[in-house]
Structure 1
Amino acid sequence: MERKNINRGFKQLRVWNDAIDLYVLSYKLFLNFPFELKKTAGNCIDSVHSISRNIAEGYCRKGLKEYLNFLNIALGSSGEYHSCLVSFLKATQISKEDFEKLDELHFKTENGLIQLIKSLQQKMKDGTWEDSFLRD
């Protein structure tokens, strides 16, 4: 049964769904890292998981400034994740093919996040943000 309410609306966001897909893909790849790299792989998994978690938390805050703050935190986690991917590739800890798969979805997610931030910044500028549960 699908449970819906106004606080779970973030699940409708394409960028949140892309971030979840990126986490799942990353988890599956980094799960098999050798023991000596488990902490490093775990940190990378944490950074990618932070993207969707911060999108959701910001959405649930309802205040526009708080929402934007959490989206900017998600964007920072996105940068951290990309740095992980590049360093894993340079250290030959992941293949070029795996890097490309992850980076393609990461790029899509990161750009979606940037577009969401721009859209909300425009709502802030225009004064068109609705933060009340009450509707006229």
Structure 2
Amino acid sequence: MVNIRSFKELRVWNNAIDVAMNIFEITKSFPVEERFSLTDQIRRSSRSVAANITEAWRKRRYPAAFVSKLSDAESEAAETQTWIEIALRCGYLTKEEASYLDSRCEEVLGQIVAMINHPEKWTIRSNSSALRS
């Protein structure tokens, strides 16, 4: 594995940021009356995915905390998919836009789940056993 020094080098983080920015741009065209409801909700959940990945990265000394924050990111990505579906059904997104955003969320979800399933590839191993010798 490549020596990743920053969360900004993670493909999953970059993909999550891209989704959040796509959603930000697309939601600029949502009706003004949705500003404090749907627009706010979908922007918050999409941004939270990357933020939780960042928090997970900083907690990788503790595998359970790492997995917990990734689980939060997974939940936020799934929530974002729900808001995408609602925006589609309200007529604020075209089928093509919704499909694209949903597929990007699925990509991020797959990457997060892969990290959750193999935290040992990402977490920092403790040298405490070496210190006891």
TM-score normalised according to structure 1 size: 0.81
Moved more, 16-25 or 102-111: 102-111
Is structure 2 residue 16 aligned with structure 1 residue 22? no
In structure 1, the partner of 2:6 is: 9
Separation in 2 of the partners of 1:101 and 1:130? 35
In structure 1, the partner of 2:65 is: 66
In structure 2, the partner of 1:119 is: 118
Separation in 2 of the partners of 1:60 and 1:21? 21
In structure 2, the partner of 1:97 is: 96
- SS of residue in 1 equivalent to 2:87: helix
Distance 1:94 1:129, change over 3 A: closer
In structure 2, the partner of 1:83 is: 82
Does the CA-based 8 Å contact 1:68-1:117 persist in structure 2? yes
Does the CA-based 8 Å contact 1:88-1:94 persist in structure 2? yes
Is structure 2 residue 36 aligned with structure 1 residue 36? no
Residue type of the partner of 1:27? F
Is structure 2 residue 124 aligned with structure 1 residue 130? yes
Separation in 2 of the partners of 1:28 and 1:109? 19
Residue type of the partner of 1:102? L
Does the CA-based 8 Å contact 2:78-2:105 persist in structure 1? no
Alpha-carbon shift at residue 130 of structure 1 (Å): 2.6
In the TM superposition, structure 1's runs of 4+ consecutive aligned residues that sit over 3 Å from their partners are: none
- SS of residue in 1 equivalent to 2:118: helix
Alpha-carbon shift at residue 82 of structure 1 (Å): 0.6
Alpha-carbon shift at residue 29 of structure 1 (Å): 0.2
Separation in 2 of the partners of 1:60 and 1:75? 17
Aligned residues, how many?
A: 124
- Structure 1 gaps, min length 5: 1-5
Alpha-carbon shift at residue 18 of structure 1 (Å): 0.4
Identity value in percent: 24
Alpha-carbon shift at residue 32 of structure 1 (Å): 2.1
Please give the per-residue CA displacement for 1:12-56, whole angstroms capped at 9, x wherever unaligned: 211111001101111000122111011211111000000000000
Separation in 1 of the partners of 2:124 and 2:15? 25
Alpha-carbon shift at residue 132 of structure 1 (Å): 4.9
